[in-house]
Amino acid sequence: MGLDGFKNLRKTYPIQIQAPSASGVYDYSVYLERYHGAETKLLAKNVSEDQVQELLSERDYMKFRDGKGSFRVSGFRLAEVLEVVL
């Protein structure tokens, strides 16, 4: 069995995208969910709407616009868009 350095990039991670204030629609914070949402860890703050759109698939982005905040995203996508490596 060989070592696979790209395993974390292929794996999907549960994230939450939240607006920092109730009226704020400009910048978002992205959190990594752990233990089925019982614990969260801040991954990135001041994430723009364009970055959120790049981070999510088209279908997930439409759900995000409708109010959903929890998604699963690949490690590669997190690294590419938010420059965060898990």
**For the chain, what are the domain ranges?**
8-82
pLDDT score recorded for residue 19: 83
pTM: 0.81
Q: Is residue 35 very low, low, confident or very high in pLDDT (cuts 50, 70, 90)? A: confident
pLDDT over 90 at 7, yes or no: no
Q: Which helix (H) or strand (E) holds 32?
A: strand 28-34
**Beta-ladder partners of 18:** 29
Is residue 47 a contact partner of residue 29, using CB atoms and an 8 Å limit? yes
Which amino acid makes up residue 2? G
* 61 CB burial (10 A radius; 0-12, 13-18, 19+): middle
Find where tokens 């969910």 sit: 33
